[in-house]
Structure 1
Amino acid sequence: MTIAHSGSQPSAPGGTQRFTGQVCIDPLFQPEPPSRMSGGMVTFEPGARTAWHTHPLGQTLIVTSGRGWIQQLGHERQEIVAGEVVSVPAGVKHWHGATSTTGMTHIALQEALDGRNVN
């Protein structure tokens, strides 16, 4: 058993290749084989969001605070709020982030395939 103590891993800004606006990523845990699951807490300032992307084995988002949006390619944008859980199937192109006026934080859980958890 392992305990990942809060604050034991440094926060990092979201890079401009994967995000727009102000984003802070707090790593929560990395995969411990045979598991392929990793997790992070991502905080989006108002108006910040991810770029369009996919996950080879899907992604689960647990919204912990604020209000945000998520959009699947070819579909309407949907609002997400604290307490909601979003399951994104493998290979589905999407983006997610804060609304234009309210920040949003979520925990992102995803598995890696051949060492990659996002495309």
Structure 2
Amino acid sequence: MNNTNSVSQQEREAMIQENIAEIGMMIGFLIATDALPKTDLDLSSTDISQKVISWAKEFEDTHQGSDYDFYHTITELGKPDGYLDAIDNFTDLKLREAGWLTEEYILDTARFWNSRT
């Protein structure tokens, strides 16, 4: 869903900044817990930063608005409990697609893609 007309440009930019912060915190946590082995993958901070910005914009373009009904309408993200949970699930998918996650993390039953019914 793309509701680019439903928010002002200033609101959109603020939401993108929020997305960047949330994605960045998640990636930092995953690096710290070795679920994203940055060194083994030979990823530079620049590589990661560029992806974070790109993904933050993509999320906002696709699932715009903090009042969006994430739980009922975005099946590819599981059934997230709101905006930040949707960003986290989106980030998980992007990291998996990029091949940046360990197999152990991907196969963990806590991942929303492993608990789909």
* Shared fold, TM over 0.5: no
Higher Cα radius of gyration: 2
**TM-score normalized by the length of structure 1:** 0.26
**TM-score normalized by the length of structure 2:** 0.26
Higher helix share: 2
Higher strand share: 1
